[in-house]
Every structure is written in structure tokens, then in C-alpha cells.
């Protein structure tokens, strides 16, 4: 961008004019332009981002959303286009008046219960019931009629047996969670889920959503603008959260090799080596698709905590999600250093547990002497 003549320190009108010029050039990536716009504190930058978003998809749209969020934190919003005439009611608007939802928290394995309900004209409710999994997508889905009393009793029974609460949620968020899980369900497993889209159509007539602006960024906007507190790591949801061992294991192996090295290091050098490994893990694990998955989990945790009356902790989780979304330098944020260290610790603890449980093939000299002495005593 700088090589193409863009000066990020130029006055906003000049910078915007240059970016418009570069946008017309086919050799300048649109993602780079969107990223640069996020650093210009001017209404024109938000307007240009909104203009770009209309035809954007994939990585470009995500970059635009990150830049719009950065401007939102500085009090700058894209312009609202005036309505020429009142729009006709859509299927989504009709659905919004009578749909409701319940969500469970995400458990340590990444699974969650999602209910969407709709009153029936003849009485009772129709319910779409699903279980989502971070690893397996949509695990199961059922739609059927149920009385309000049965619905209440089932909710109470689930809460009693699991020790957790189902919270009232925006049905559009619940719908997106189910649809997104279905899209990420392996083809080999979709047959076991059933015809989810047909079940959904019994309650919701609008097309399945492909994207959704999570409500935490408006509900917890002030909290999301700060860095997350390391105190969030004390939450049970964080203590139980384990990233896939296959993702974390390479960094644990690095730590093990560093500890087994024959090179003598002082304590400060050892700490520096560990810090470097942790920084690489943060950069790798919290970026790209893996980072997006972790961000979504922080978003959902923030939403659940807020609905459960835990606004402070919800704000910390929202801040963690926001830092990932905006592409912050996470390796400099104490919370993420602690989070990745905790993930590495989970794998180390599991390896140590397996080592204790497996039969040992190597016998120490002292053990060999005791075994030999015991055998000699038995022969006497």
C-alpha cells in the first residue's frame, strides 16, 4: 500500500481519495484497502466500507467487518440509507414476532442444546430441538409438537440433571447456530441427523442464514472495547475447555524437547524459550479458521454469561472475541498468554497421567536390585 503511494498519516480526505483510486486498480487487494480504512477515523471510511460490503464475501467481508468494528469502537458508524417507501413485510419479520429460543452453555466437549419454539394456533408449541458440536457439527435434530407444560417440565428436568440453566435467547442466533452446525456436519453423518432443513421449515420460512452479526458486540460494546481480564480463566467454562490435542501437541513436544535439551540454560533463558513457544502457539492457534472457531466460542460464552446475569465475566469473554475478530496482536495480551498456557498444561497433564497408568518397560538399577533380592529370598 505504501509502495503504491498510500500515506496512512495523510489527512482523512486525502487518504480516502487515494484508497478510492487504489481500489479501482486491479493489482491492489481489496482486503488491504479494507484494513487501511479501519485505521481512518472518519465517517467517509465507514461509508466506503459499507459500500464495499454490499458485494463482499469470504475473507474480504470478514476484513470489512473487522474494520467496521474498529470504527464502531471509536464512535464512527456507516450511514443509514434512507427508506424511500416502507418495505413489505418479509418472512423473517413475520417469524420474529412469535419465535423464541433457549440455549444451554457449551460443555467442555464443545456440545450444546438449542431449542427454537413457536406457538401453534390450536394450542401448545412446536419445537425444533437440536444438539450442536464443535467437532461433529449437528449431532441431532427433532421437530415436534409439545404442550407448554411438557416444555416447562423438560426444561426443569434438563436443568436439574445437568446442573446448568437454559437461557432465553434471540431465535435468530439459535437458528444460525443450528444452520451453521448443519453446514459443518460431515457428509457421512448427515443421514443420521435427518432432514434438518425440512424440520426447520416447519417453524421458520426464511432461508437458512449464512452469516450473523453476534449480538454481544452491541449488547456489550463498552466491555468489548477493552482487553479481556485474566480472571476469565477462572471460569468453569474456561477450565473445562480443551482444544483438540492434535492441535496443541506439537507445541507440547517443543516444550518437552526444550526441557530435555543437553544445552545448559539459566532460568531466564529457559523462560524465554518457553515464552517463544507460547507466542508461536498463540499466533498459530488463534488465527485463520481455528481462530474463528475459538472466537465464536468466546462470543457464545459472553452471550450466555450475560443472559445469566454475569455481565462482568460476559464483558471479558466479549473482549476476548473482539480482540480475535479485529486481528489484535494477541501474543501481547496477558489473557491469551494464560489461555494458551492452560491449553498446553491440559495436554501435559494428560500425558503424565497416561505415563503413570502404562506399564513401565524400563527398570531403574535400584528397582532391579530389590527385585533380585526378593527372588533370592523366595528361593531360600
Q: Is residue 307 part of a domain?
A: yes
Would residue 367 count as lying in a domain? no
pLDDT digits (tens, 9 = 90+) for 90-108: 344 444 569 999 999 999 8
Side-chain-side CA neighbours of residue 230 (13 Å): 10
Would residue 252 count as lying in a domain?
yes
325 touches 302 (CB < 8 A)? no
Burial of residue 353 (number of CB atoms within 10 Å: 0-12, 13-18, 19+)? exposed
Q: How far is CA 375 from the centre of its chain?
A: 59
Q: What is the DSSP string of 24-81?
A: TSTTS-HHHHHHHHTT--SHHHHHHHHHHHTT--HHHHHHHHHHHHHHHHTT--PPPP
Tell me, yes or no, whether 116 and 186 share the same domain: yes
pTM above 0.75, yes or no: no
Nearest to 141 by CA among 213, 92, 197, 94: 197
Last residue of a domain, one of 152, 175, 201: 201
Residue 130 within a domain: yes
Residue 364 domain flag: no
So what's the pLDDT on residue 167? 97
Cell numbers for 266: 539459566
Nearest to 128 by CA among 149, 157, 155, 99: 99
Instruction: Give me the number of domains the chain comprises.
Output: 3
Q: Could you list the residue range(s) of the whole structural domain that residue 234 is in?
A: 216-357
Whether residue 373 is contained in a domain is answered as: no
In this structure, the answer to whether residues 111 and 153 fall within a common structural domain is yes
> What is the predicted pLDDT for the residue at 94?
42
Residues in the chain: 380
Burial 51-86 (b: 16+ CB within 10 A, else e): ebbeebeeebbbbbbbbbbbbbbeebebeeeeeeee
Are 58 and 124 contained in the same domain? no
Residue 241: inside a domain: yes
| pLDDT < 50: residue spans in the chain | 81-95
Looking at the fold, whether 135 and 221 belong to one and the same domain comes out as no
Query: What's the confidence (pLDDT) of residue 108?
Result: 85
Amino acid at each position: 500500500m505504501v509502495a503504491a503511494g498510500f500515506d496512512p498519516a495523510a489527512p482523512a480526505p486525502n487518504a480516502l481519495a487515494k484508497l478510492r483510486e487504489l481500489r479501482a486498480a486491479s493489482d491492489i487487494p481489496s482486503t488491504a484497502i479494507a484494513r487501511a480504512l479501519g485505521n481512518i477515523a472518519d465517517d467517509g471510511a465507514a461509508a466506503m466500507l459499507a459500500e464495499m460490503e454490499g458485494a463482499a464475501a469470504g475473507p474480504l467481508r470478514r476484513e470489512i467487518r473487522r474494520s467496521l468494528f474498529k470504527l464502531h469502537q471509536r464512535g464512527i458508524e456507516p450511514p443509514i440509507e434512507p427508506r424511500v417507501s416502507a418495505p413489505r413485510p418479509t418472512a423473517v419479520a413475520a417469524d420474529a414476532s412469535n419465535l423464541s429460543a433457549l440455549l444451554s452453555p457449551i460443555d467442555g466437549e464443545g456440545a450444546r442444546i438449542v431449542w427454537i419454539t413457536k406457538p401453534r394456533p390450536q394450542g401448545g408449541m412446536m419445537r425444533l430441538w437440536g444438539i450442536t458440536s464443535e467437532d461433529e457439527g449437528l449431532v441431532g435434530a427433532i421437530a415436534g409438537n409439545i404442550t407448554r407444560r411438557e416444555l416447562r417440565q423438560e426444561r426443569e428436568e434438563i436443568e436439574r440433571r445437568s446442573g446448568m440453566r437454559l437461557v432465553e435467547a434471540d431465535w435468530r442466533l439459535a437458528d444460525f447456530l443450528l444452520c451453521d452446525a448443519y453446514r459443518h456436519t460431515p457428509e457421512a453423518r448427515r443421514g443420521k441427523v435427518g432432514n434438518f432443513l425440512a424440520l426447520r421449515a416447519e417453524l421458520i420460512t426464511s432461508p437458512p442464514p449464512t452469516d450473523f452479526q453476534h449480538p454481544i458486540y452491541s449488547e456489550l460494546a463498552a466491555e468489548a472495547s477493552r482487553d479481556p481480564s485474566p480472571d476469565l480463566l477462572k471460569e468453569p467454562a474456561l477450565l473445562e475447555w480443551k482444544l483438540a490435542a492434535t492441535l496443541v501437541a506439537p507445541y507440547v513436544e517443543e516444550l518437552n524437547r526444550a526441557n530435555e535439551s543437553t544445552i545448559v540454560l539459566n532460568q531466564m533463558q529457559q523462560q524465554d524459550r518457553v515464552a517463544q513457544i507460547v507466542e508461536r502457539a498463540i499466533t498459530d492457534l488463534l488465527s485463520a479458521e481455528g481462530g474463528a472457531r475459538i472466537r465464536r466460542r468466546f462470543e457464545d460464552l459472553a452471550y450466555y454469561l450475560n443472559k445469566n446475569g454475569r455481565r462482568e465475566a460476559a464483558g471479558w469473554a466479549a473482549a476476548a472475541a473482539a480482540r480475535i475478530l479485529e486481528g489484535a496482536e494477541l501474543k501481547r495480551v496477558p489473557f491469551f498468554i494464560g489461555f494458551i498456557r492452560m491449553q498446553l498444561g491440559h495436554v501435559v497433564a494428560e500425558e503424565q497421567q497416561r505415563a503413570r497408568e502404562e506399564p513401565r518397560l524400563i527398570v531403574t538399577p535400584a528397582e532391579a536390585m530389590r527385585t533380585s533380592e526378593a527372588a533370592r529370598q523366595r528361593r531360600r
